Amino acid sequence: MDVISVIRTKRDRGELSPQQIDWVIDAYTRGEVADEQMSALAMAIFLNGMNRTEIARWTAAMIASGERMNFDTLSRPTADKHSTGGVGDKITLPLAPLVAACGAAVPQLSGRGLGHTGGTLDKLESIPGWRALLSNEEMLNVLDTTGAVICAAGDGLAPADKKLYALRDVTGTVEAIPLIASSIMSKKIAEGTGSLVLDVKVGTGAFMKNIDDARELASTMVALGTDSGVKTVALLTDMSTPLGLTAGNALEVRESVEVLAGGGPADVVELTLALAREMLDAAGIKDADPAKALADGSAMDVWRRMIAAQGGDPDAALPVAREQHVVTASASGVLTRLDAYDIGIAAWRLGAGRARKEDPVQAGAGVEIHAKPGDTVTAGQPLLTLHTDTPEKFDYALESLGAAYDIAEPGTAFTANPIVLDRIA
């Protein structure tokens, strides 16, 4: 087997054989295939695609590159959730303890933010003392004692994907649907969860900009999970507008705690409950009411235990940025658009995100939102507050907000997109 033949097969729109796929993933993981060669193959896949058989074998080969976890010793059924990433998407934070409070075990392996999309681990690391890196034994112990764990994936889980993910990020192949699907599902299947709910974002702030691409990605991932014996469901959800009223790390933790306390923005609560119901149904738990678990404080109790079990102080004050800048409405009328991508770029430029995986982030940086589409605003009213420790970043962030919103004439009718656009099962 040689890598040039594998590249040529896909370059010429051919179907990769199981043997070719197994060999190239193993050889790349071991360093026998160079980055520039895998870059060429990734671009050929991006341009020419893969069929279902190829994607399934590619995913299986990435799983086989590392270890597989097992939760058979737990007394509860396991349910996990994965989001394809968005702006203000803090749903995992209230969702994991909520589903655990309803009787499932939630082994949530999460990632860090890159570019305009936020990362769950970055958000939680704004809580003093909280640790993302757990051994497999520690992860299982937290899961067993609290019902939920949110942590980083270990180096032994699908190491081929770790290498390929970093390569895709710098070679313009992030958006390749076969590579997105296999990247997500190799880790989730290797993780060992019994059921999985996918939150596939659609809109300007998502990787999938239109619903047809999102539906293709969701269908591909549902098929991969189902074929591997994991009960898998996907919701297509709107990401044209940021979720909630914050985009940033500590800002989003604070908002998540509000949701767990029975408050919080309506869209965050709605999506949290929708995903919770899907997770509980997939896990076979039919008689639990997640809305009640939010209202009676049981989800908050699990949150506090989960944070403490990973070294965090749930009562500690969260970091606050040293500097703020208020963006005001330029006219009076109805706010009809608030672009998720532009808000995400602003938060990133303020220090909430990173351009490279090794870059640090500011815990207190981000964007606070004071009005959402459909709200009536007056000229000079605060629309956004920008937060950062480095005020020289304000001008750079403001550049991304020049066309971030539209204000229509007073009295203009407005109809918001539904949060959940479709369901794939």
The one catalytic residue in 80, 89, 122, 161 is: 161
Catalytic hit among 10, 187, 387, 393: 187
**Active-site entry in 183, 186, 195, 256:** 183
Q: Which is the catalytic residue, given 168, 201, 215, 304?
A: 168
Does residue 116 carry a catalytic annotation? no
Cα separation, 279 vs 78, whole angstroms: 9
Judge whether 167 and 42 are in contact, CB under 8 Å: yes
| Known catalytic membership, residue 349 | no
Could you confirm whether 161 is annotated as catalytic? yes
Which position among 57, 81, 82, 387 bears the catalytic label? 82
Q: Which residues are catalytic?
A: 82, 161, 168, 183, 187
